[in-house]
Structure formats: C-alpha cells, structure tokens
Amino acid sequence: MPSKKSQILPSIAKILREFGENIKLARLRRKLSAEQVAERANISRPTLLSIEKGLPGVAIGSYAQVLFVLNLEKDLLKVAVDDTLGRKLQDAELTVKERAPKK
C-alpha cells in the first residue's frame, strides 16, 4: 500500500516558508554555519536545510532542537497564547466536544 502524502493549504505552506526563513536569518545573524547548527541540534544538514525552506514533512521536534541551538526555544511558548476565538467560545459557554465524531 503506497503511503499517503498529506496535503497542506497554501496559506500554511506560506507560513512555514516564512518560519523557515526566520530560522535561517537567526542562524546567519549568529554567524553559525548550517553544519554547526545541524551538529548541535543532532540532525542532518539536509534536515536543517528542509527546516530553513519550511518544508512540512520535518518533525516539530527537529524544529524545536534548532530553535534551542539558536536560543529561541521559548518562542514556541508564544504559539496560541492569545487565543481570542477560544476565549470567545469559552465566554459564550458553548459546548465544545473533546473529540470529533466518528464518521
């Protein structure tokens, strides 16, 4: 059975590309080579290059390792901090199911 490749939305692909570019700029500002960062993050150089391109197939753990090497790992804590939609739903006391219904 062939593996099914997941599809991502163009808007998500754009965000990932920008994320990768930001990581690359952070590496260059620190004057670190791709080889140095890959070695310190315990990933291969091609994986680092995939991260810097924002490719969606890279594990989030690899992204986190690179951010740690660049001393930016705390930036991950900023994700979903300001969840305005979630707060509005909570304030409206709407029931939100924990799991999606089975098809």
Question: Which burial class, exposed, middle or buried, applies to 38 when counting CB atoms under 10 A from its CB (0-12, 13-18, 19+)?
Answer: buried
pLDDT tens digit sequence for 40-91: 999 999 999 999 999 999 999 999 999 999 999 999 998 888 888 888 888 8
**Tokens 């939305």, residue located:** 9
Q: What domains appear along the chain, each with residue ranges and CATH number?
A: 10-77 (1.10.260.40)
Q: Is the pLDDT of residue 97 over 70?
A: no
User: What does pTM read for this prediction?
Assistant: 0.78
More confident position, 76 or 97 = 76
More confident position, 23 or 80 = 23
**What's the rounded Cα separation, in Å, for the pair 75 and 71?**
9
**What's the rounded Cα separation, in Å, for the pair 18 and 26?**
12
Res. 95 pLDDT band, cuts 50 70 90? low
pLDDT for res 102: 76
**What's the rounded Cα separation, in Å, for the pair 33 and 22?**
15
pLDDT for res 87: 82
